[in-house]
Amino acid sequence: MAADVAVRLRAGWMSLAIGAAICAGKFAAYALTGSTAVFSDAMESVVNVIAAVLLVYSLVVAARPADRDHPYGHGKIEFFSAGVEGALIGVAAVLILLEAGREIWRGPELRNLDRGLVLVAGLTAANGLLGLYLIRVGHRSRSLALEADGRHLMTDVATSVGVLVGLGAVRLTGWTLLDPLMAIAVALNILRSGWELVRRAVGGLMDEADVVVLQRIAGALEERREPWCIDMHSLRTWRSGAIQHADLHMSVPRFYDADQLHEIDTEIRHLVLRGVDAAGDVLVHFDPCRPRQCSECAMPACPVRAAPLRERPPLTLERATRGEEKLDTGEPLVEALR
């Protein structure tokens, strides 16, 4: 766990240092060429630098252990960081649109396009390598903030490629109006990217269900399902930074004692966390079995069996995530969902 924190922080500082250098280079390219499209690219790099500062701060805070005031840790700040980054992208898009409109009104004046193209191309390559690195580290260390920053940089790379294509077209055709038009296209593209980041961040802060994670947990439990696992429901998950949390209800033989339940709890925790390949916490609520479940129970030599086994339903995603039920009848507890 400590090694993952060190890797995330190193990647965050690298994003900040290299991002600042790339931003300075793009503004130098703008001063060299006077291109609105290059200005749009430079403005997005400003957002990258601000986002990198937020990234480093969020990684430092997220690495703090859980305490009395934050019993689930501090990892949620990564979602906040990603949301702020998305909002800043929106601000940058508006500024680019204003500058592009001004250039269209007064007429573009471009210069030194050859040197500008070479400089922007080199900066774009550096940005692409940094973005791929952040995505890989973010995925391996389960850091949404790092992954979001990396994907934003890859969007910036696509933007820069568009700028290069636009400047190349201007260089070949002499039609300077292509420059502010390309800037408008860039602004609309990064506005879409910002919206996606905000949406993901809000989903994380609101503990939006991750169907992929739920499916993997249900699949892991079904694959290694023991006879004592009679049924499961109310499976829920949420993330706090790199920490995966899950809770579920499991029906087990009602004659099991506390020692047996403790062993089951340990095994379920191991299966769930191995299924999602993450560090985390799993809370299991044990429900005592009822006669209505005997026909679905595979326990051998059960001393309280009221009916023979007919069919054992698999722990599908739909079955595992259904809501709480009354023990004796299986009727949904609708009031629990209010």
CATH number at residue 201: 1.20.1510.10
The pair of structure tokens assigned to 122 is 């080199």
Output the pLDDT for position 3: 55
Q: Residue 120: is it exposed, middle or buried by C-beta count within 10 angstroms (0-12/13-18/19+)?
A: buried
In this structure, the answer to whether residues 61 and 161 fall within a common structural domain is yes
pLDDT digit string, tens, across residues 46-56:
878 887 888 78
Both structure tokens of 237: 């998950």
Answer yes or no: do 201 and 215 share one domain. no
Where on the phi/psi map is residue 28: left (φ > 0), alpha (ψ -120 to 50), or beta?
alpha
Range with top average pLDDT, 103-107, 152-156, 228-232: 228-232
- Range 22-48 average pLDDT: 85
Rounded to the nearest 5°, which phi and psi values hold at 236? -140, 150
Tell me, yes or no, whether 152 and 26 share the same domain.
yes
Paired tokens of 55: 């990234």
Phi, psi of 288, rounded to the nearest 5 degrees:
-70, 140
Tell me the per-residue pLDDT of 282-323, one tens digit each, with 9 for 90 and over.
Answer: 999 999 999 999 999 999 989 999 999 999 999 999 999 998
Angle, CA of 35, 41 and 46, to the nearest 5° = 125
Is 50 in the same domain as 186?
yes
Q: Are 235 and 250 in contact (CB under 8 A)?
A: no
Residue 133 CB burial class (10 angstroms; 0-12, 13-18, ≥19): middle
Q: Is the pLDDT of residue 236 over 80?
A: yes
Nearest 5°: phi and psi at 145? Answer: -60, -45
Asked if 140 and 224 sit in the same domain, the reply is: no
pLDDT given for residue 337 in this prediction? 42
Residue type, 111: R
Q: What pLDDT does 4 receive?
A: 66
Mean pLDDT of the chain: 84
Structural contact between residues 232 and 282, judged by C-beta atoms closer than 8 angstroms: no
Number of residues assigned to the chain: 338
Range(s) of the domain holding residue 269: 211-337
CA angle 46, 124, 37 (to 5 degrees): 60
Q: Are residues 60 and 179 in the same domain?
A: yes
Task: Give yes or no: residues 189 and 220 share one domain.
Answer: no
pLDDT band at 253 (very low <50, low <70, confident <90, very high): very high
- Count of structural domains within the chain: 2
Among the candidates 178, 205, 232, a domain finishes at: 205
pLDDT of residue 183: 77
Confidence at residue 242, expressed as pLDDT on a 0 to 100 scale: 67
Which residue, 205, 228, 255, sits at the end of a domain?
205
pLDDT for residue 144: 66
Q: Which tens digit of pLDDT belongs to each residue from 166-186? A: 788 888 887 878 778 877 887
Domain end position, chosen among 205, 238, 272: 205
Pair (86, 154) in one structural domain: yes
Residues 139 and 226 in one domain: no
Q: What is the Cα 100 distance to its own chain's centre? A: 32
200, 228: one domain: no
Q: Count of alpha carbons within 13 Å of 65, Cβ hemisphere only?
A: 4
Q: In this structure, are 181 and 245 located in the same domain?
A: no
| Percent of the chain scoring above 70 in pLDDT | 96
What is the pLDDT at residue 334?
Answer: 64
Specify whether 243 is located in the same domain as 107: no
- Top pLDDT among 68 and 144 is at 68
